[in-house]
Amino acid sequence: MADISSARGFIAEHAHYMDDAGFWEAHAARLGGPVIDLGAAAGRTAIPIALLGIDVVAVDSDPEMLEVLQERAEGTPAAARVTLVEGLMQDAALPTGAALVIVPMNTLQVLVDPVDRAQCFAHVAASLRRGGEFIFDLAVPDMDAIEWAIADSISTGRFRDPVTGDVLVHTAVFDLIDRTSHTLDFRVIVERADAAGRTQRVERRHLVHLYTYDEVQALVASAGLTVLAVHSGFRGERFTDSSERQVWRCVHQGSTA
C-alpha cells in the first residue's frame, strides 16, 4: 500500500463528515465576498464557495494543505476565485473589507494560548467590513466525561475512502486533560485497509483548547464584535445546557475597515 500524504489523508479521513453540508456556502451566498476561510486545509469549504463565483482567501499554516487545495481547484472555475495565504489564524496577512470570515470544524480549538485566541478574534474583526460576519463552530466541552474516558480507545466510526475504496477505521484516545487551562491532549488513530487486505496505520496527535460559552462571549466582545446568534447545530437548532456543539454568528457593526 502506497503512503498517503497527510494532506490527502485529511481529505479521505473527513470525507464522511456532512453535518455542515451547505451551511458555509449558504452564508457565503447570502453575504457575498470576499470570504476568508481560516484553517482552510485542503479546501473542503473554500472550493465549494469559490464554485459559487465568490472570491475566497484560503488561509492555512501547512503549505502542503494549500498545495493540495490548489491542485484540487485547478481546471475548475474555483481556481480563479481562490487566493492562498500561508500563515497562522491569529496573524496571517489578511485583506480588509471581507464580507465573511469562517472557521469550520472546531479549528479555533488549535489556539491553546490565550494571547493567540484574543489576537485571532481581533485580527478577524479588523479584516471584516461593516456588516461583515464571523461564523465558526466549536465543541461544547464535557470535562467530566472526558476525564472518565482518559486512556480509553473510543471508536469514532468506520468509513470508506470515496477515491480508493479503502476502509478507514477511526479511533480516538484522550491522553491528558487540564481543567485549569481547558486543554485536551488526544490522538486520532486511523487504520486503513485496501481490497487486498493490506493495512496502514496513521496516528495524529492534537492539543486543543476547549472553549466555554462564556469565554467565547468575552472574546467576541473584546474584539468589538456583536453576537447575532448561537445555535447547537447547522440548521438553526436551539442552544441549550445539554448541547454538544456551539455555532456562533457574530457581526462587525463598527466603521468600515
CATH number reported for the structural domain that contains residue 175 in this entry: 2.20.25
- The verdict on 113 and 170 lying in the same domain is no
The pLDDT of residue 3:
64
Closest CA to 25 of 63, 72, 81: 81
In a domain, 191, yes or no: yes
Q: What is the pLDDT of residue 2?
A: 60
What CATH number did the domain enclosing 228 receive? 3.40.50.150
Q: Are residues 15 and 74 in the same domain?
A: yes
Q: What proportion of the chain, given as a percentage, has pLDDT over 70?
A: 97
Any domain includes 228: yes
Same domain? For 43 and 132 the reply is yes
Number of domains in the chain: 2
Residues 68 and 93 placed together within one structural domain of the fold: yes
Q: Do 166 and 45 share a structural domain?
A: no
Pair 135, 148 in one domain: no
- The closest of 46, 210, 21, 209 to 113, measured between CA atoms, is 209
DSSP H or E stretch at residue 86:
strand 82-86
Specify whether 55 is located in the same domain as 178.
no
Closest CA to 252 of 146, 121, 144: 121
In this predicted structure, the answer to whether residue 13 has a pLDDT above a threshold of 90 is no
In a domain, 257, yes or no: no
In a domain, 32, yes or no: yes
In a domain, 133, yes or no: yes
Using pLDDT thresholds of 50, 70 and 90, give the confidence band for residue 256: very low
Tens-digit pLDDT profile for residues 187-236: 999 999 999 989 999 999 999 999 999 999 999 999 999 999 999 999 99
**pLDDT tens-digit series, residues 37-93:** 999 999 999 999 999 999 999 999 999 999 999 999 999 999 999 999 999 999 999
Question: What is the residue range of 192's domain?
Answer: 143-209
Residues 56 and 79 in one domain: yes
Band of the pLDDT at 184, cuts 50, 70, 90? Answer: very high
Instruction: Mark whether 24 and 108 lie in a shared domain.
Output: yes
Q: What is the CA radius of gyration of the chain?
A: 18
| Residues 136-156, mean pLDDT to the nearest whole number | 94
Can you give the pLDDT at residue 257?
38
Per-residue pLDDT reduced to its tens digit, 158-179: 999 888 899 999 999 999 999 9
Q: Positive or negative CA dihedral for 128, 129, 131, 132? A: negative
Q: In whole angstroms, what is the distance from residue 152 CA to residue 173 CA?
A: 6
Indicate the DSSP class of residue 239. P
Pairing of strands 128-139, 245-252: antiparallel
